[in-house]
Amino acid sequence: MLNPQSFSMFLLNIITFTAITEAYAIPSTVLEKALQGPPKHRGHNEVWMPNPAHPVPYKLPLSIDDRVNWFEQAHNGSKNGFYKRSSCPGINMLANRGYIERSGRNITHESLAQAMRDVYNFGDDNIMVALDTTFAAYSWPQYIDLDFFNEDVVQNNVNCPAAPTRNDRNIGENVNINITLLDSLLSFSKDGETLSLEDLAEHHHLRHNQSALENPNFQFGSHHAICSLAQYTNLVGVLGRHGKYGLSTLYVEDVRHFYLNEDLPSAYMRRELPYYSTEANILIDRMAHHIGFLIDRPYPPNDQDPGIDIEPIVAKYERPCQAVY
């Protein structure tokens, strides 16, 4: 018989599974492999409880003990190939600060997932999308190296086309940052200080069109769209802090520091409420709406067809205004 704590975790697993299948609509074959993974030792997000004195979740400064989590940047292949890094600056930051193995080698699912909770308060369902899909692609090894996130086996599931600051894998080196793409991203700020969700959508649309032109194997169904847009919305959900767009205000200098150094900006504020897939999908759909297309959930049968592209070349905001009579 289940005790109350075990029953609560059982319900949480059902809710998480439902959120993943309905919000992200991961292909059933991928989910089946992911759910065969090790069920033990998984942590979970802490529960935020409102009270009359504090009714709305906020963001608070993250306390970092520099004696333990000092910053030391490494790149993929540095120290004669010993250090491993991914194409995700958020994951690399966890290694650069020692929240996971600094070498980027021999990383367990549990240690990486817990670091994402501790530092970013990333929601368990979002963690499942990123980590379970990757570990499942390699048949659930006990350990992975961070460069596992870069290989062909995870392309278009975790590592996606039209990334903000990385080349498509079919175009060139896709692990390290492309400074030209970073400068392009920051230039989309309308005020030179902040980046709105619409600014990010417009930069994504440029990246979409660049990839469509340059990548001979480009395809962009609903799954690819979610994967690509999430790389922007994760910035908003994690790095956003109080400002002109509320708690999701993204600051240009924060983004620059995060990408160049793969470290938290000095003004970083950690979320009190976990960043769950529900919030992520709302932001993703807002970006798609600004551009002028819809993401289908669940994915249609032709979502992985060669050459599919659900995003228009000319965005809604680029079209001439039509008079309404």
Q: In angstroms, rounded to a whole number, what is the distance separating the alpha carbons of residues 257 and 85?
A: 17
> For residue 131, which of 149, 150, 119 has the smallest C-alpha distance?
149
Instruction: Please give the pLDDT value at position 323.
Output: 52
Instruction: Please give the pLDDT value at position 160.
Output: 86
The DSSP 8-state label assigned to residue 246 in this structure reads E
> For residue 133, which of 112, 118, 119 has the smallest C-alpha distance?
112
Q: In angstroms, rounded to a whole number, what is the distance separating the alpha carbons of residues 245 and 224?
A: 27
Residue count of the chain = 325
Q: Which residues contact 57 (CB under 8 A, 6 or more apart)?
A: 48, 50, 271, 272, 273
Chain centroid offset of residue 294 CA: 20
* pLDDT means over runs of 10, the chain (325 residues): 48 46 46 43 74 89 94 93 94 97 96 95 92 91 93 78 90 89 97 96 98 93 95 95 91 98 96 94 97 96 93 93 57
Are the C-beta atoms of 174 and 166 separated by less than 8 Å?
Answer: yes
Number of Cβ within 10 Å of residue 101's Cβ equals 18
What's this model's pTM, rounded to 2 decimal places? 0.84
DSSP H or E stretch at residue 89: helix 89-96
3-state SS assignment for residue 83: coil
